[in-house]
Structure 1
Amino acid sequence: MEQVATHYLWWIVALLLIGGEVILPGYFMLWIGIAAAAMGILLLAIPGMGALAQAIVFGVFAFVSCFAYWKLVRPRLERIPPGNERLNRRGEQLIGQRYVLCEAILNGRGKAKVGDGTWLVTGPDLPLGATVEVVGIDGTTLRVKAVDVG
C-alpha cells in the first residue's frame, strides 16, 4: 500500500507544479512537473524503488527535461516566421503606409486616422484632410511626410 501512495504522491507533485506553471508562467515548473509525472510512471514499473533512488532519478529526470526544453523546445519557440518580424510592434507595421489627417499638423503636431483610431503624428505643417506617408515612429507618435496626391 505504501508504494501505491508513493506513485500517487509523484503525480500530485506533478499536478501542483504544472498548476503552478499555469498560475505563474515561466516554463521551468512545467518541465519539472513532467519529470515528476515520469517518476510516477516509473514507480508503476518499479514499485520497490527506495526513497533515495527516487530522489536521484527525479533529479536526473528534472535535469534532462529542463535541458531538453532549453536546447530543443525553446529555440523553436523563439524563431520568428519570415514576414512576422514586426508582429507585436504595430507602429513599425505602419511605416510606408499612407493615411489622411483628421487633425491638421500645426507647429509640427497633428493626428491621422489609422484604422478605427487616431495616432499622433509629427511632420511638416499640413491642412486637415492631407494625405501623409509614415516614415518612422517615435514611441506612439508617427513621423510623417506629405504625399502629393494628384
Structure 2
Amino acid sequence: MEQIALHYWWWILALVLIAVEVILPGYFMLWIGIAAGATGLVVLVIPGLSMLSQALVFVVLTFLSCAAYWYGLRPRLMRDEPGDTRLNRRGEQNIGQRYVLAEAIVNGRGKAKVGDSLWLVRGPDLPAGSAVEVVGVDGTTLLVRAVE
C-alpha cells in the first residue's frame, strides 16, 4: 500500500478542525482549519519541505488567517449585523410608538396598554384613555408625551 502524501495529512487536519468548528462554533477553529488547508497547498507546491518548515508555515498561516478575521472580517460583520440591534431591549423598541393610557398619569406616573400587557409610564398628568407617544425609556418605564 502506498504511503499517503504529506499534503493530504494537512487537508485531513483542516477538515477535522473545520468539523470541530461546526460542532462547537466559535470562529477560531475555522481559521486554524483554513491555515491547515493552506499549509497543505504549500506542501503540495513545495514537496521537499521539512517537518519544521511545515510547522512554521502552519503557525504563520494560522496567525495570518486569525488576524485577517479579527481585524478585517470581524469589524465588518459587527458593523453590518442584520436585524434589530435592540432585540433584548424591549423598552427601546417602543420609542416612537403610540399607545392609550390604561391608568391616568397622576404626579407624573401611570400605565399604558402595550400589546397584551401594562407598562409603567412617566410623563405629564393625563386622564385614562389619552393617547401618548413614547419618547424615551428609563429602565422599564416608558417616557411619554401627550399626542394631540
Q: TM-score, normalization: structure 1?
A: 0.73
The residue type paired with residue 21 of structure 1 is: E
User: Shift of residue 130 of structure 1?
Assistant: 2.4
Answer whether contact 1:133 1:147 (CA < 8 A) is retained.
Answer: yes
CA distance in structure 2 between the aligned counterparts of 1:119 and 1:47, rounded to whole angstroms: 71
What is the aligned partner in structure 1 of residue 113 from structure 2?
112
How do 1:9-20 residues align onto structure 2 when only pairs under 5 Å count? 9-20=9-20
Equivalent position of 1:56 in the other structure: 56
Are the structure 2 counterparts of residues 140 and 24 from structure 1 closer, same or farther at C-alpha, using a change threshold of 3 Å? farther
SS at match of 1:48: coil
Q: CA deviation at 1:60?
A: 0.9
Runs of 4+ residues deviating >4 angstroms: 124-128
Unpaired segments ≥5 residues, structure 2: none
TM-score after normalising by structure 2: 0.73
Contact 2:91 2:137 in 1 (8 A): yes
Q: Secondary structure at the match of 2:129?
A: coil
Give CA-to-partner distance per residue, 1:111-140, whole Å, 9 cap, x none: 3234xx546232256555321111211344
* Mapped contact 1:3–1:47 kept (Cα < 8 A): no
* Aligned counterpart, 2:122: 123
CA contact (8 A) 1:119 1:140 kept: no
Counterpart CA distance in 2 for 1:119 and 1:23 is 42
Q: How many residues align?
A: 141
Query: Residues of 2 paired with 1:119 and 1:142: CA distance?
Result: 11
Q: Aligned residue for 2:100? A: 100
Q: Secondary structure at the match of 2:25?
A: coil
Match of residue 78 from structure 1: 78
CA contact (8 A) 2:122 2:141 kept: no
Structure 1 segments unaligned to the other structure (5+ residues): none
CA contact (8 A) 2:21 2:27 kept: yes
* 1:77–1:142 distance in 2 versus 1, CA, 3 Å: same
SS in 2 for 1:52: helix
Residues in 2 aligned to 1:3 and 1:49: alpha-carbon distance in whole angstroms? 16
**Superposition pairs for residues 15-26 of structure 1, below 5 Å?**
15-26=15-26
Give the CA RMSD over aligned residues. Answer: 2.9
